[in-house]
Amino acid sequence: MATADKIDQLGTFYLGRRHDLAAGQTLAEPLIYDSKDLTTHAICVGMTGSGKTGLCLSLLEEAALDGIPAIAIDPKGDLGNLLLAFPKLEPSDFRPWIDESDAARKQMSPDDFAAAQAELWREGLAKWDQSPERITRYCNATERVIYTPGSNSGIPLTVLDSFHAPPAELIADSEAFAERIASTTSGLLALLGIDADPLRSREHIFLSNVLDAEWRAGKDLDLSQIMRLIQRPSLKKVGVVDLESFYPEGERNKLAMSLNNLLASPSFASWLTGEPLDIGKLLYTPEGKPRIAIVSIAHLDDSQRMFFVTLMLNEILSWIRTQPGTSSLRALLYMDEVFGYFPPSANPPSKRPMLTLLKQARAFGLGCVLATQNPVDLDYKGLSNAGTWFLGRLQTERDKARVIEGLEGASAQAGAKFDRRAMEATLAALDTRVFLMNNVHDDTPVVFHTRWAMSYLCGPLARDQIKRLMDPMRAQFPRSTGPRSEPANAQSTAGTANESTGPTSSKSKSTTSANRPILPASIRERFVAITKRVPDDQRLEYRPALFGRGKVHFVQAAERIDEWRECGLLTDMQASTTDDIWAGAAAWTDYILDEEPDDRGQFASLSTELTRDKSYAVYGRQLKEHLYREESLTLWRSRLLDACSRPGESEVEFRTRLAPAAGEKLGAEREKVERSYAGKLADVEMTIKRHQTGLRTQRWQFWARLGNILWVIVETILRATGKGRRGRPRSAEVAFRQAATEHGQQTTAQLSLDQAEQLKTRLETERQEKIHSLEKQYEPGGMAIEPLPLSPRKSDIEVDEIMLVWLPWRIDGRGAAESVY
């Protein structure tokens, strides 16, 4: 097999070439790494200058070529180099990214230095059998994006809404849920500068209980909501002690003010806008194309880094628990310079989720790759879960001893043999860009020389360089530039709701009554909280609306669908003009409801029907009819894979989830095609060899017959001159006839050979066409997906509540009304 075919096989990573330490020579044999081995995770250790960065970037490039998405956490700024891949390898490609100080030190102009770098990369890639076409495939295989939480230089990521309730699968796992709460709380308090002990800190215990209560109730939170919950928590006790005794209101307000000060800080403003921290969206574009999401945190301080990394790891944990199990590599999590996030003795907030990922991510197809140049500062007991170790040059004997300790633990956990003495000797002999790979899936460790990276390794990118790379892509991320969300005042926000997207205005139609209407005790009424200021020169008016809440049950046994959907509708009774009062009703927003109105409020007149308790039973029946007509559940179905989407899962998410199964099915179908043609091709190959042998025989016999003709001619001439031998002369006619016969048989043999070779070409073409057709058929983005609409049965609809709700409006001197909720 040609080298190009070996290094570009699907499911394998080309990392370099085998290296003979004893001879000090790099061999011609490429080192091919099975991508599935990364599901047992990998560690890369090497001192500065060992070539660790080049190796890890090459690994990410190989993942991209295979269409495997990755999240790469970048504390130093080196990983942005993955965007600097230039298929044309022109000096102009390199010119914007060179270090002009390097050019000055080499006494070269920047343009000359860029040309030298282009030539260096062109020669280096060619030496390692990597063509410009391979770079083009790398650039086209995945989208590469640099995200910068807390900065607008790249694509910003917001943490304002990064406290979503974990999935039900994680909440059901009590140990994992407790770890999620503990690490999230520790990360948040670390951001506030509070070093909290989870067992003794009052702040940590209180916030943990708040998160536990809200998340168990299925409520998503953001930082402003957490601040309000600190002031007015739903819980009344902490343990067996009442809340006020455990954490008085005055002390809670101080904690809330600390959080508010953080939200109000100009330096924190960029954290509040940007793309959501959604792992599925980081890994795939909206069209389903894999993505390398480089999360650069080099610009953050230590507490901000710890806070963000903890949030990111927790989100990844939540994401994998929603994915189906697979033995294939679904995605990669890479973290460069993991020093400080996974120490041997201390327990920073990031350590728990990282350890959990190392233990559990394998079952979901997520491979974790961690890199460091400080091996003594890693928890090697935790890293014993890693199946592959890439080891480069190490600086001290202490470093080598700690690496040997980790390797020994990993080998013991995998049940593999470990030769400590041989490993120590090998580590001592490693040179720059020469690594030892200890893979528990292989029989013996392998020494190899890393390949030339396709990306230009210009060093850490500065903020302006990141901005230059990301500016052309910002239009794809509409949330990356937006107005800053104003933080709420800690003393005044308790009991308020988020403002609506924009005020609606209308002319005031109704007369008002200063007195609140008297209603039967059986009619429940509530008042939507006011969230906008009502000036002194305007009046506050409450207008009647109906709130209805029900549940719709969607069932389909064939697809194992058993889904209850809660529905809340709000209909303005003054705007309703049809017999169906729920026609045109708006979906219920999570407005905060008060039991009593504002003292300044006046009330619009109430229709007689709304004052009768029997009317609400009618409204309930009408709501049931409305839900029966309007509610439906549309799923997505793949007949090819006999799979159906989950309720609430978008088409893109469904396609993304099907990708591993499609890949496995494609592999199986492709193997069937290969098997079906293997015998035919073997037979035709034997036929070709047989015809080739026959053709050679016929050619030899033909030339032999031509020799006979020559002898007949010579003999005839000799007889004519009286010098020939006596006896019966040979017949020229017979000799010519025999030669003609042999020539005909040679032509027939050549025709048979041509036909056999044409058959081989046709079979190979058919095989490739079938494989191409299969690849197109199973491509996630183009796979045939059809909608599967489900309608409820009327008996599967329940109406839980019909309630009178008063909506606050402000009325100016001209009679114009505007909502204040």
Evaluate the CA torsion angle 124, 127, 129, 132 in order and state its sign: positive
Please give the pLDDT value at position 726: 56
578 pLDDT above the threshold of 60: no
Q: Has domain 1-16+35-156+274-471 been given CATH number 3.30.1330.60?
A: no
Q: Has domain 651-788 been given CATH number 3.40.640?
A: no
pLDDT digits (tens, 9 = 90+) for 184-242: 888 788 888 888 888 889 999 999 999 999 999 888 888 877 887 888 788 889 988 99
Contacts of 666 (CB under 8 A, 6+ apart): 774, 775, 778
Please give the pLDDT value at position 484: 40
391: β partners: 45, 436
d(CA 491, CA 473): 41
414 pLDDT tier (thresholds 50, 70, 90) = low
CB 51 within 8 A of CB 450: yes
- The 3-class secondary structure across 681-710, one letter per residue, is HHHHHHHHHHHHHHHHHHHHHHHHHHHHHH
Burial class from Cβ neighbours inside 10 Å (0-12, 13-18, 19+) for residue 250 reads exposed
143 pLDDT above the threshold of 60: yes
What phi and psi values does residue 73 have, to the nearest 5 degrees?
-85, 125
- Rounded alpha-carbon distances, angstroms, from residue 366 to 92, 167, 319, 354, 385: 38, 18, 10, 12, 13
Side chain identity at 158, as an amino acid letter?
T
88 pLDDT tier (thresholds 50, 70, 90) = very high
d(CA 390, CA 41): 11
DSSP codes joined into one string, 76-103: SS-GGGGG---TT--HHHHGGGS-HHHH
Domain ranges of the chain: 1-16+35-156+274-471, 505-632+794-819, 651-788
What phi and psi values does residue 21 have, to the nearest 5 degrees?
-65, -40
- Rounded alpha-carbon distances, angstroms, from residue 488 to 256, 497, 684: 11, 11, 78
Structure tokens at 506: 């209308």
Out of 54-68, 425-439, 515-529, give the one with best mean pLDDT.
54-68
Mean pLDDT along residues 708-732: 66
CB 393 within 8 A of CB 359: no
Alpha helices in 415-550 (DSSP H): 420-428, 463-470
Please give the pLDDT value at position 491: 36
Please give the pLDDT value at position 576: 57
418 pLDDT tier (thresholds 50, 70, 90) = confident
Structure tokens at 766: 């058919």
102 pLDDT above the threshold of 60: yes
Please give the pLDDT value at position 703: 77
Contacts of 713 (CB under 8 A, 6+ apart): 732
pLDDT digits (tens, 9 = 90+) for 373-396: 888 878 877 778 889 999 999 988
**Of the given ranges (63-77, 78-92, 131-145, 658-672), which has the lowest mean pLDDT?**
658-672
108 pLDDT above the threshold of 60: yes
The pTM assigned to this predicted structure is: 0.62
Same fold flag, 1-16+35-156+274-471 and 651-788: no
**Of the given ranges (699-713, 776-790, 805-819), which has the lowest mean pLDDT?**
699-713
503 pLDDT tier (thresholds 50, 70, 90) = very low
622 pLDDT tier (thresholds 50, 70, 90) = very high
Rg (CA), the chain: 37
- Rounded alpha-carbon distances, angstroms, from residue 816 to 505, 510, 534, 789, 810: 7, 12, 13, 44, 8
How far is C-alpha 96 from the chain's CA centre? 30
658: β partners: none
**Of the given ranges (73-82, 416-425, 434-443, 797-806), which has the lowest mean pLDDT?**
416-425
Side chain identity at 681, as an amino acid letter?
L
Contacts of 348 (CB under 8 A, 6+ apart): 186, 190, 306, 340, 341
338 pLDDT above the threshold of 80: yes
